[in-house]
Every structure is written in C-alpha cells, then in structure tokens.
Structure 1
Amino acid sequence: MIRALTKGTMLALLVSAACIAVPVRAQEKPVAATPAARELTLADVLESSATHAPQIIEAMARQRQADARALTAQGAFDLVFNAEANTRPLGYYDGSTAEVSAYRPMQNNGGQLYGGYRVSTGSFASYDGKQITNQLGELKAGAVFSLLRDRMIDERRGRVAIAEGDIELAALDRDLVAIGVQRRAIEAYQQWVAAGLRVRIYRELFELAEARQASIEEQIKLGARPAILGVENQQNIMRRKSLMVQAEQNLQLQANALSLFLRDGLGQPVIPTADRLPPRLTDGVTPRLVDQSAAIAGRPDLQALVTRIEQAGIRASLAANELKPRLDVRAEASKDFGPGSPVRRPLEGAVGLRFSVPLEQRAAKGRIAEVAAEQDALQVRLRFLEEQIGVEIANLRTQVGGAEKLAGLATAEAALARRMAEAERRRFTLGASDFLLVNLREESLADATIREIDANYRHAAAQAELVAALADREQLRL
C-alpha cells in the first residue's frame, strides 16, 4: 500500500509528522507544578447538605416547635399556688382571714392533690363560722380521685399524648425532608459530573479539528490537498466550538444548581469549579438488599401515618371518656393549732362523693362518630400507601436493572466507536481515507460517548432513587 502512494502524498505525510513532533528544549528549566484542586466527591456534597441545607434546618426548627408545644401541654400538670387575704375595715364584725393553698393535678388520674393553710383574726358572724380558726391557724390536705370519667384518660393527659405524637411527626417530617434533600443533592452532583464529562468530549472534538487545521494547511501549500478542505475544516471547527461552548454553559448552570447543596462552614453556597470534576461518573450510592416489608415499614411517610392513626385513637378514647358519668371521691384531713375553741383542735377527716351525668350526650356521640370516620379514612390511606410504596420500590429495582444493562451496552458501543475513529484517523493520516469519513467517525465516537455518559447517569440516578425510596439513611449520610 505504501508503494502505491503518490509523491505528493508522501511529502504531505512528512509535513504532517513534522507538525505533530514537538521539539524539547534541553536547557529549559522545569516549571513548578501548581497544586491541583481536590476532587469533589459525592460524600463531600452529602455531608455538606446534611449539615447546612436550609430545608433540613427548617425541619429541625419545626421539631423544636413540637417540643415546645409538648412542654406547654405538660404545663397542665404544674403545681399551682394561690394566696388570698380578706379584711373588714368597716362594719360590726372586724374579722380578717388569710389563706395560702397549692394543688397539683395527678398524672395517672383525672383528680388532684391539694393542701393549704389559713388563719383568721377578729370577730365573725355566726353564719361565717367556717372561716374561724384557732390562733395558729389550720392546716388542710386532701385529694380528689376520678372513679369513672377521667379515670383512664382526661383532657390534660390526652393533650400531652397528642403533643408527644406531634414530636414524633416532626421528627419523621425532618427525616422525610432530609431524604428528599439528599436525593436532590445526589441528582445535582451527578448532573454536574455528567455535564463536565460532556464538556471534555466536545473539547476533545474541537481540539482534534483545530490540530488538524495546521496539518491541512501545510498539505494545501504542498498541493496534496485541495484548498476547499481548509475551509471545510474551519467550518467544522466553528461547529464543534459552538457545541463546546454550549456544553460549558450547561456545566456552569449545573455548578450553580449544585451550590444549593454544597456549602462552606458558615452555610454559604459554594460553586464548584471545573478543576474539581472527577474523571468519571460513579454510582455514588448503592442500594442494599433488604426485605420488602422491612423497607416499607422503615419509610418515614408510612411511620407518620401510623402515628396519626395512634393520635386518632387517643381522640377516640377522649370522646368515649365523655360518655361516662362523672363519679369523684374526695378525701380531706384538717387540723387547727394553738389556743382557741376545743371543738376545732382534734384532727378532722372528711370523705365525699360527686356524681354527674349528661342525659343526652349528643356532643360526645358526635365526636365519637367523627373520630371513627377519621380512623377509617386513615386506615384506608395506610393500606394504599403500603401498596404504593411496594410498587414504587419494585419499579425502581426494575429501572436499576434495566439501566445497568443499557449502561453496559452503551459502554460497549462507545468502545467500538473509539476503535473505528482511531482506525479512520490512521487511514486519513496515510491518505487512505477522506476528510468527511474521518469527521463522521469522530462525531460518531462523540455521540456514542455522550450516550454512554447519559446511560451511566440514568443508572446512577435510578440507584439514588431506590436508596431514597428505601430510606437508607446511612447511604444518604444522614
């Protein structure tokens, strides 16, 4: 084949070889290498996002609100202190009284414990005899117990239980928000890496055409190539440069989007530069083989719905409690101290009962029916959510498997296209191919490589979606 080459072609090959060769200056001092920027990994992005993402911080603030509401509900069991004083500056009787008391509601019964001290001075009318104490006053202590209504649950304990459920809901909402944020952070990182790889492909195409232009111009001067070939290659350079500029613009857009998740120690967005791009697109996160039922049960949205059902059960208990009659027993002991009437000196004890019942009970029956309907609706929603999550996980597993196969095929296609492009460039260098064919091979290689990048991105994205659907907090760096 080499013997069949024309004299002009042989001369063009020598010129091309001379253009490719680069002379080395022996006496030139080596330039100090600048330190390369540290490669940005997915772990860096996920750790930054988990720490500084505004959505996660907002969800944590809502969790603190739920904690504060629970503390407010627990305040219904606080110890209450009362003080009261009365005097009569005018009138026939000049009696004065002073009293302090305290009571605390019980946490395991609807009743309360109470105690107090009171003292009186001066004269009182006969009908105010209960206000009179001995000289050193009277101590009193007692308790009220609920025997029917409010015995197992009352408004105070119900509010505390519901507030504790709200704390759990806020924590689950925080987990759900964090999982969504981390999933979007993975997507933003993968899109940024894919955009960087596309820039490299188009830049390589542009540099190939630009390097070929010098060789073509030398060959045109020697008469080995027509002059129109130089114009055609310049047109090819402009077209490839346009593709490269568009890819660089998309890379900058993806870097800006990634800065919403990549933040510094103060929580300020950091726009990653192109020199921090990794050499290839990796999976980043890998779904684990877990039991389907365990994966469904671990989902925060399902757990939140279960908590809401439990809260509805508390409201149902409160409504059923209102149907019961009230029967309270009261036990009290008191004793006077100091000089005074001997009638008041012995220790006194008293026991009393109080009974009341609403006759129509329409309010309680209405609340019971309302809560029962809410429970039915939540149970139906729970069953549907379990089915929906199961289908979602199954579909994502199918997508991961299919995307993995397509990524393998795309990689094989890109390898074959690379072999074809390299062979065609050698043939073009030897003069056995034309300019149009070598351009077609190079652009076919670029298209196949872009398809390989896209296939790898879809596979990595499907894996990230599956990890998020499985609520794998360890993989998501939560």
Structure 2
Amino acid sequence: MSNILVSKYKSFINPILLILLLLSSSESFSKVNQPLKLTDILEKIDQFYPQVIIAYLEISKAQGDYISALGKFDPNLNINSRSQPFGGYVNTHIDNELVVPTLRNGLKLFGGYRIGRGDWPIYYQNYLTNSGGEYRVGLSFPLLRNRAVDKERTALFTQAETIHLNNQNAASTKIKIYQEAIQAYWRWVEAGFQLKAFKQLLSLAKKRQNAITKQANQGELAKLAIAENLQMMIQREQFVNQGEMMLEQAAINLSIYYRDERGRRLKPKTSQLPLQVADKRLTVSTIFDKLKGHPELRKMESYYRIIKMKQNLARNDLLPNLDAMAYTSKQYGSGGYPRLIPQAALVGISFKFPFCQREAKGRLLSSTSELQQIKTKRKFIYEKLSNQLANLFIAIRMYSQQINLLTRSLRLAKKVEHGEIKKFYAGDSTLFLVNQREQTTTQVRLDLINAKISLQQVKDMVQFFSTPEQQNTVQIASSRLAPSLRYYKNLPNSGAGIPGK
C-alpha cells in the first residue's frame, strides 16, 4: 500500500519540479539576455568590490575603537575589604564605592557604603561605623584643567570623528572605483558597436560578391573584379576579427566590476550589449553645488576637527590642576565611634601646577601648524576638483558639437557612397572607389560611435564625480554617537569646520 502511495506522489511531484525548473531557467536566461546597464555594474561594486568592502570594514573598525573609548566612561564598582581575625584587635571592614564618570565638564559622581565592626586602635577609629554601616554620596569636578576637555573625552570625540572620516574615505573610494567602472563599461559598449559596424562593412562586400560574379560571367565586368572584391572581403574579415578581439578584451576588463550574487567575477555576454545609447541630461548648477560636499573635502574637514581637538587638549594641559570635591555621609544603627557625628559633609580643593610645560607647548605649536597645512591642502584640493569638473563640462560641450558635425558628415558620406555604387554598376566607376567610399562611411560611423560613447561616459563621470549616489556606506550608530557629538559641538573652539575655507 505504501509503495502505491509513493508512486502516486512521485507522478504528481515530478511535473511540478519540471515546471519550476523551466521557469527558473527561463528567468535566468532572460536576465542573461537583458541589456547590461551601468547601474547594474555599480550595484555589484557596492556589494562585492574588494576595495569598497575594505573601506566598509575600516568603518566597522572605527566603530569598535569608538566603543572602546566610550568604555572610559563606564561606571566602576570598587570593593575593598580587610579583616583581622586574631591578634590584639579583632575587626572587619568592608568598603564599596560606585564611581560614574560623565561627559559634562569632567564631572564624576560617586556613592558608597562601608561598615566596620570589631576592636580598632585609636589611630584607626575612622574604620569603625555604627551597626547599620555608613552611606555616602558625592561628586568631584575640575575647575580649570580638564574641565572643558580632557584626555579621555578627546580620545572619545576623536574616535567619533574618525568614523565620519572613514565614511568619507569609503565614499571617496567608491567614486574612484565608479570612475574606473564607467570607463570600462563604455569601452565595452563602444567595442560592441564597433564590431557591429565592421560586420556591416563586411556584409556589403559579401552581398556585392554575388552580383560581381554574375556580371563578370556575363562579360559586363572584368574577371579581376571578383578577386578584387574577395581581397576586400578578407581585409574586412580582419577588421571583424580585430573588433571581436577588442570586444573580448573589453569584456574581461569589465568583469572585475561585474559580479554574480555570490561575488564571483562575470564576463558580460555579447547578447547583453545595449541596442542603443540613451542620452541623459545634467543640471550644471546642481553638479557644482555637490562639489562642495565631495568626500575628499569632507575628509579634510574631519581631519581638521581631529587636529583641532588635539590643539584644544594641548591648551588644556597648559592650565593648572584645580579640582573640587564634595560629599555627604550618614551612619545608621548604633555602636560606632562615640565622637563621630552620624551625619556629616565634606568639601575639599586640590591644586597642582607643573612648571615649564614644554611638552604641552610643543604639542600646541605642532597642532597649530598642522591646522594651517590642512586649510591650505583643502583649498588646493577644491581647486583641483573644480578644474577637473570644468574640463568634463568642456568635454560634454565639445562632444555634443562633434556629434552634430559627424551626424551631418555621415549623412553626406552615405549619399556619396550610394552614388558611387550606382555609378559602379552603371560602369562609370571602379571597385576601388566603391571600397574607398564604404570605408570612409564606416570611419565616420566609428567616429560618431566614439563621440556618442564618450559623451555618455563623461556625463556618467560628472554624475558620480562628487557623490556615489548609490552609496551603501555603513551608517554610524547614531544612538551611541549622538550624545557625545552633541556635547562636543557645544564646546567652545571645537573646530566644527575649517575657518576661512
């Protein structure tokens, strides 16, 4: 009975599996034969390109360093105990304290509990407490040095800014890879259109061969015309062979950017070549506005803020240490030191001033000079980027004019070619002149292809000149960074930007 049921299920399942297999294969077949778009290449770069992945991992490393720096502000529980079970004095003392550092002006909060029981010598009577122990709470804060900034907060804010820096570095890396991929993609497309033009040129000679053979056999053309046209066919087959080689090489060059869903390199197929080149429009004002937010400039701004924090820390280290502390305590129960008041408060101030301070002065001088270097370098980078972008727009204008001229030239070349062919079949021209006209037309067509491809390539380079619009950059953990960054921005002279840029 069970065998009968299994056979019935098999007969039912097999057709379903066959249908699913056919659907999946047809879907994959359609994907392979769909025109390959530049956006498809850029998406694969975002997901799988090694240099981009490395840049993402640098962001993750910086986030780990930030969390590590944030650990300096973790609450700290201290437990100290001492016991003397035998000897002249038998006693026990336990002291617990919780210290909570904050980001606000170097303020530290603390609270604790201690209990001391037994016999204590007169000089250790402060260890003795009432039977319920002593609770205390207080705070400490700097008045001069380490008030606005200190070493721990500077390290924390530096790591937070480093995350921003690595984000911009990842975006800058993606822009560079995008520019390389754009060139590789359009070289592949151009090679495909060139091969198509060479094949069209070869097909003209093949179609003419039958007519020439027929006319030569009828005595209307010399027998030499057959060999002459065959020679042209062989020459044009060489052009096709060279075009196929160029297309194959361009596909291999593109495969480093084009990858499958598992990140493996894919060589694009000839069937994926676009049928035509679609023109796109660009807004000049928007492109130049985006230039101000170029990742290379943002990197310099982040670096400036990091050095500015070092400068502020050096200025801070020139100040003397003047720290204040206050706390209150209360004991519960009975049996403690009779002269000790159950509830008390204590305030204190400590002062320390190191002489010379050459180490801090040296760091201040070094950081100030480095800030000037960054301002100068940022200005130069902006000038270089502006020149590069302006040159790209000049290229767009020139290629647009070139396309108009070549379109007119191609129209005239075709007209002359058709006229020469008519004259040839009428006996008023030679095969040599026909070949010259056809090659001239093909050369103009190749020049037009190059101009159109170059125009789209330049436009794509302009589009992704200042920002990778498809960016998948790892985002900063805003819930972790927001409090510290918000506080940092409120600090005086925090270097939120580059002055005079």
Scaled by the length of structure 2, the TM-score of the pair is 0.83
211-220 or 400-409, larger mean C-alpha shift: 211-220
**Residues of 2 paired with 1:286 and 1:144: CA distance?**
63
> How do residues 110-259 of structure 1 correspond to structure 2 at under 5 angstroms?
110-259=106-255
Is 1:323 aligned to residue 301 of structure 2? no
Match of 2:276 among 260, 277, 280: 280
Match of 1:395 among 368, 391, 396: 391
- What letter corresponds to residue 315 of structure 2 in structure 1? A
Is 1:354 aligned to residue 350 of structure 2? yes
**Residues of 2 paired with 1:87 and 1:334: CA distance?**
23
Q: Which runs of 5+ in 2 are unaligned?
A: 1-28, 474-501
- What letter corresponds to residue 265 of structure 2 in structure 1? P
Q: Contact (CA 8 Å) 1:84, 1:100: kept in 2 or not? A: yes
The Cα shift of 1:443 comes to 0.8
- What letter corresponds to residue 215 of structure 1 in structure 2? A
> For residues 85-138 of structure 1, what are the alpha-carbon distances to aligned partners after superposition, in whole Å with 9 as ceiling and x for unaligned?
222345322322222221011211223111111222332222222222222222
**Residues of 2 paired with 1:469 and 1:43: CA distance?**
15
Partner of 2:331: 336
Q: Contact (CA 8 Å) 2:297, 2:378: kept in 1 or not? A: yes
- What letter corresponds to residue 190 of structure 2 in structure 1? A
**Residues of 2 paired with 1:322 and 1:187: CA distance?**
52
Q: Contact (CA 8 Å) 1:180, 1:468: kept in 2 or not? A: no
Pair member with larger Rg:
1
**Residues of 1 paired with 2:431 and 2:64: CA distance?**
74
Partner of 1:30: none
457-466 or 289-298, larger mean C-alpha shift: 289-298
174-183 or 338-347, larger mean C-alpha shift: 338-347
Match of 1:261 among 246, 252, 257: 257
**Residues of 2 paired with 1:396 and 1:217: CA distance?**
52
Q: Contact (CA 8 Å) 2:287, 2:463: kept in 1 or not? A: no
Distance 1:346 1:121, change over 3 A: closer
- What letter corresponds to residue 290 of structure 1 in structure 2? S
Match of 1:442 among 438, 458, 472: 438
The Cα shift of 1:291 comes to 6.0
The Cα shift of 1:213 comes to 2.4
Q: Which runs of 5+ in 1 are unaligned?
A: 1-33
**3-state secondary structure, aligned to 1:265:** coil
Q: Contact (CA 8 Å) 1:292, 1:390: kept in 2 or not? A: no
Identical aligned pairs, as a percentage? 28
- What letter corresponds to residue 299 of structure 1 in structure 2? H
**Residues of 2 paired with 1:296 and 1:81: CA distance?**
51
The Cα shift of 1:388 comes to 2.1
**Residues of 2 paired with 1:65 and 1:246: CA distance?**
48
**Residues of 2 paired with 1:121 and 1:346: CA distance?**
16
**Residues of 1 paired with 2:288 and 2:303: CA distance?**
20
Q: Contact (CA 8 Å) 2:205, 2:232: kept in 1 or not? A: yes
Partner of 1:54: 50
**Residues of 2 paired with 1:403 and 1:447: CA distance?**
17
- What letter corresponds to residue 465 of structure 1 in structure 2? M
Distance 1:249 1:291, change over 3 A: closer
**Residues of 2 paired with 1:76 and 1:142: CA distance?**
20
Q: Contact (CA 8 Å) 1:95, 1:121: kept in 2 or not? A: yes
The Cα shift of 1:357 comes to 0.7
The Cα shift of 1:73 comes to 1.3
**Residues of 2 paired with 1:412 and 1:180: CA distance?**
36
247-256 or 294-303, larger mean C-alpha shift: 294-303
Scaled by the length of structure 1, the TM-score of the pair is 0.87
Partner of 1:39: 35
RMSD after superposition: 2.3
Q: Contact (CA 8 Å) 2:133, 2:333: kept in 1 or not? A: yes
**Residues of 2 paired with 1:221 and 1:148: CA distance?**
109
Is 1:308 aligned to residue 312 of structure 2? no
